[in-house]
């Protein structure tokens, strides 16, 4: 095959460049593929003598290689593996060893012991704020609420009404805590009447206030009347847990349900929320067991149960065998004799019954209390 003159010219120029060393054999081979490639031996690099006193230079590959105790990790590629075999020197995702991340150092923590009182306060705080029974126990009614409930002004210590209650309370306390009394039974007093409106709740509240202010005994006033206008409604305790809830759920503790009053030795147990079931709850054995349990648990207190009228419900007849004494209130010039006799027949299971005449019109100047104004303040 004849080559053109231009190609002969290029070959001569390339041969001169090769002889002068200005052109590599690989470039000449590209100009003329038929020309054999002559490889010149690479000149040996001069060896530089190392100073023995100078430390050896570390190998760079050893610096970045993983430690023997560290397992090599690879980054998994989300793309499917290619069918082509990759060159070992080629950069791929499968042969890259990531650098070990530097762990952040945790800040130094100083443990300071906390005082036991602080720990106790923190442990009790959530229970105190979340438990409704504990909140009820900590709340207290004020003197204005007691006045709405029918309590008289006991600051007038020598008023006629206060002297009347002192006469009644002497006999009650003698039976409850005097010689021959039965602790846990004699301290249970039920206050009732024959018909509604005779003043039994008024008597219960003021008798409890009179005994508590005297200071010799504590008094627990229990609302055992489930009617809608009991004295607990006037005190603002209509929705509080109380007596009926303890009967419906025997696992409840009575202590958190007791509400404090401004009078130091007087506390109140409301009737409770289960008023719709009062008829069945009062007739159960659990009610009897609860009253007896309260009498024994608070044997140092006088428990006054404000019960419904005898001729209205069967509740007084149920409670009569359980209590140690009964205070029976009779309204003067209104309650008939046959009503009183019928009521006494229903509660005759109690051996100690004291009768109180209420709302009596005083006409004689020689009766008790006629000269009460002499000592009134």
Question: Do residues 114 and 120 make contact, with C-beta atoms less than 8 angstroms apart?
Answer: no
Tell me if 58 is assigned to some domain. no
- Could you tell me which residue, 102 or 160, shows the higher pLDDT? 160
- The enclosing domain of 206 has a CATH number of 3.40.50.300
- Could you tell me which residue, 356 or 140, shows the higher pLDDT? 356
Q: Taking 60 as the threshold, does the pLDDT of residue 168 lie above it?
A: yes
Tell me if 163 is assigned to some domain. yes
Domain boundaries, position 165 = 128-374
Q: Taking 50 as the threshold, does the pLDDT of residue 35 lie above it?
A: yes
Alpha helices in the chain (DSSP H): 5-20, 25-31, 60-64, 116-130, 132-138, 143-148, 160-177, 200-214, 231-235, 243-248, 278-282, 285-297, 315-319, 337-346
pLDDT at 23: 55
The total number of structural domains in the chain stands at 1
For residues 234-262, average pLDDT = 91
Residue of 41, 43, 42, 12 whose CA lies nearest to 28: 12
Percentage of the chain surpassing pLDDT 90? 40
- Could you tell me which residue, 291 or 111, shows the higher pLDDT? 291
Tell me if 343 is assigned to some domain. yes
The pLDDT confidence band at residue 316, using thresholds 50, 70 and 90, is very high
Tell me if 171 is assigned to some domain. yes
Tell me if 335 is assigned to some domain. yes
> Of 83-92, 98-107, 141-150, 179-188, where does the model show the most confidence?
179-188
pLDDT at 367: 58
DSSP-based three-state secondary structure for 325: strand
Tell me if 180 is assigned to some domain. yes
Tell me if 189 is assigned to some domain. yes
Tell me if 79 is assigned to some domain. no
Residues 337-359 have pLDDT tens digits of 999 999 999 999 999 999 999 98
For residues 254-273, average pLDDT = 92
Whether pTM exceeds 0.75: no
pLDDT at 17: 65
Q: Taking 50 as the threshold, does the pLDDT of residue 149 lie above it?
A: yes
């Amino acid at each position: 095959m004849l080559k053109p003159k231009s190609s002969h010219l290029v070959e001569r120029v390339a041969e001169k460049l090769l002889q002068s060393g200005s052109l590599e054999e690989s470039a000449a081979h590209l100009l003329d593929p038929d020309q054999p490639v002559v490889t010149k031996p690479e000149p040996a690099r001069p060896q530089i003598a190392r100073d023995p006193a100078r430390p050896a230079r570390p190998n760079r590959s050893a610096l970045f290689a993983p430690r023997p105790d560290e397992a090599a990790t690879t980054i998994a590629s989300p793309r499917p593996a290619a069918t082509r075999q990759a060159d070992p020197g080629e950069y791929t995702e499968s042969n890259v060893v990531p650098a070990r991340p530097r762990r952040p150092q945790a800040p130094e923590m100083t443990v300071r012991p906390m005082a036991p009182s602080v720990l106790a306060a923190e442990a009790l705080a959530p229970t105190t704020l979340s438990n409704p029974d504990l909140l009820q126990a900590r709340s207290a009614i004020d003197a204005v609420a007691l006045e709405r409930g029918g309590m008289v002004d006991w600051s007038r210590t020598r008023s006629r009404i206060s002297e009347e209650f002192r006469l009644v309370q002497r006999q009650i306390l003698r039976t409850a805590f005097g010689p021959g009394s039965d602790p846990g039974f004699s301290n249970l007093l039920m206050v009732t009447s024959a018909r509604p409106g005779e003043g039994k709740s008024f008597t219960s509240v003021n008798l409890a206030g009179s005994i508590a202010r005297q200071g010799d005994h504590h008094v627990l006033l229990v609302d055992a009347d489930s009617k809608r206008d009991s004295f607990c409604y006037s005190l603002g305790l209509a929705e509080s847990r109380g007596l009926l809830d303890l009967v419906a759920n025997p696992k409840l503790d009575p202590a958190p349900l007791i509400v404090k009053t401004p009078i130091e030795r007087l506390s109140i147990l409301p009737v409770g929320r289960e008023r719709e079931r009062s008829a069945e709850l009062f007739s159960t054995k659990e009610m009897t067991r609860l009253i007896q349990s309260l009498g024994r648990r608070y044997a140092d207190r006088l428990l006054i149960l404000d019960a419904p009228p005898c001729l209205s419900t069967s509740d007084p007849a149920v409670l009569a065998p359980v209590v140690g004494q009964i205070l029976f209130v009779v309204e003067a010039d209104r309650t008939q004799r046959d009503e009183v006799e019928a009521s006494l027949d229903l509660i005759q299971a109690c051996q100690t019954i004291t009768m109180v005449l209420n709302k009596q019109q005083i006409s004689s100047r020689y009766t008790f209390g006629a000269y009460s104004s002499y000592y009134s303040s």
